[in-house]
Structure formats: structure tokens, C-alpha cells
Amino acid sequence: MERQMKISVLGLNKAFESRARLGIMSVLMVNDSADFTTLKQLLELTDGNLASHARALEEQGFIACEKRFVGRKPNTIYRATEKGRESFKEHLVALEQFIKEQK
């Protein structure tokens, strides 16, 4: 029992602990890609906030970003990487486990 607890706590990924990062990953799990504006509106974040959280996830290799121009406006498109998907799934399993054990 004790051993199991430790494993599940380890399974919770620090990288997903912030609300914003959890949100970004959730959106990118069910959509092939999402652009900066869509993410900003969905998660109700400011430009700077979203940019910094997205950069953090990108540095960990969980998401990939691609900068494009629509007309003259820059537009960034985000995608979850294979590594990001796997890690997020593991995080979800750990969350589930955590809730079960607390009951």
C-alpha cells in the first residue's frame, strides 16, 4: 500500500501542476492543433501568461509550436508532441489513482 502511494505521487507530473498548463494540454489532447488566439480565449489567459506557460511546455518537449503569418499578423500554432501525450496520459492515470487512494 505504502509503495503504491509513492509511485502514484511520483506519477503526478510537476509540469502539469499549473492550471494554465493543464488547460493547454487538455485542449491539445482533443484537437490536432490550436492557435494562440483560440487557446487564449478558451483558457481566459493574458497574452504574456499563455506565452510563458506555452514556452515552459515547449522547453520540456511536451508541445511543439509553429510560427506562421496570416497576412501580416503573426500566428502561432501549437500541437501536442507524442512525448507530451504520453506524459499527460500518465499524469491523468496518476490523478485517478490518487483520488482512489484517498477515498
Partner 1 sequence: MDNKEAIRDIKDIRSMMERSSRFLSVSGWGVAVAGLIAILAAWVAYSIFCDGTLFGDTHYLWEYKTRVAVFGSLVLVVLCGTIVFVSSVLLARRNGVKFVFDKTMRRTVFNFSVPLLAGGILCLALVMNGHYGLTSSMMLIFYGLALINCHHFSHPVLGTLGYLELLLGLIDSFVVTHALLLWAIGFGLLHVIFGVYLIVVNRKS
Cβ 95 to partner 1, closest distance in Å?
Answer: 5
Nearest-10 crossing angle of helices 19-30, 47-59? 70
Q: Can you tell me which of 12, 56, 64, 77 binds partner 1, judged by CB under 8 A?
A: 12
Nearest-10 crossing angle of helices 82-102, 2-11? 140
Look up cell 504574456; give the residue: 48
Residue 77 in the binding site for partner 1 (CB under 8 A): no
Q: Which residues bind partner 1 (CB under 8 A)?
A: 12, 17, 19, 22-23, 26-27, 29-31, 34, 38, 41-43, 92, 95-96, 98-99, 102-103
